[in-house]
């Protein structure tokens, strides 16, 4: 059985979790404390410390670069999901970089405004230390002060996806591709604290997100049901 090793609110973990839920195959989840990556380090034999990773029997799968998508491609291939069709290969690789950079840089900061609601008290010191070492002392306080600006920037960053959904049921076609799951993960992180809603002006994105939350892959007929 596939085991997803994750931090629950991580956007990149949410991506893989939703792909696994979509697939319908049995899987398990192992949550780890954000500051403690010792299990990841052990399973990858000292080659990796980020999340998520997956363990599938004796196989341990993790990313090889910032935008490698090794995990998603492994799940896609082994579960027969066809999330990376050849005709969309170039466009997806361009767009997932936008999702994981411009969009994610806003969603994780907005989620971190409410970090004390997401992170168990026993992990508070480790979480703040991790963030401040990466983004600078006082970053969490700064993002809280910038909250309204960040929300406006996120609304602007989502505008192209709102426009794309005016032409298809999903972002690029009438069935979900990896890009749909990738954007879903970033927005899932944004919504994780329960303190936000998707921008009111992006009605299509809101409807799409609701659909993506429930979508299942019907393996017998190779069609989707929601």
CA of residue 127 relative to chain centroid, distance? 19
**pTM across the whole model:** 0.94
Is-contact 41 53, C-beta < 8 A? no
Pick the CATH number of 86-220 from 1.20.1050.10, 3.40.50.10490, 1.10.520.10, 3.40.50.720: 1.20.1050.10
What is the gyration radius of the CA atoms in the chain, in angstroms? 17
Rounded distance between C-alpha atoms, residue 130 and residue 223, angstroms: 43
pLDDT band for 221, please (50, 70, 90 cuts). Answer: very low
2-79 is classed CATH 3.40.640.10: no
pLDDT for position 220? 53
pLDDT digits (tens, 9 = 90+) for 141-189: 999 999 999 999 999 999 999 999 999 999 999 999 999 999 999 999 9
């Amino acid at each position: 059985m596939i085991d997803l090793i994750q931090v629950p609110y991580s956007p990149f973990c949410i991506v893989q979790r939703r792909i696994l839920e979509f697939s319908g195959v049995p899987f398990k989840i192992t949550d780890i404390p954000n500051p403690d990556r010792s299990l990841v380090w052990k399973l990858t034999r000292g080659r990796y410390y980020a999340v998520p990773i997956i363990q599938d029997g004796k196989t341990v799968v993790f990313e090889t670069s910032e935008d490698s998508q090794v995990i998603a491609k492994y799940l896609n291939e082994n579960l027969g999901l066809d999330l990376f069709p050849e005709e969309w290969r170039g466009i997806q690789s361009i767009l997932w970089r936008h999702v994981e950079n411009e969009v994610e840089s806003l969603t994780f900061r907005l989620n971190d405004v409410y970090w004390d609601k997401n992170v168990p008290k026993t992990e508070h010191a480790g979480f703040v230390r991790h963030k401040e070492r990466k983004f600078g002392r006082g970053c969490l306080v700064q993002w809280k002060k910038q909250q309204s600006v960040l929300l406006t920037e996120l609304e602007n960053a989502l505008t192209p996806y709102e426009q794309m959904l005016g032409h298809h049921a999903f972002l690029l076609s009438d069935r979900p591709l990896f890009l749909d799951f990738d954007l879903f993960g970033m927005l899932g992180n944004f919504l994780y604290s329960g303190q936000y809603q998707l921008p009111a002006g992006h009605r299509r994105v809101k409807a799409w997100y609701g659909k993506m939350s429930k979508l299942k892959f019907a393996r017998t007929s190779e069609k989707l049901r929601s």
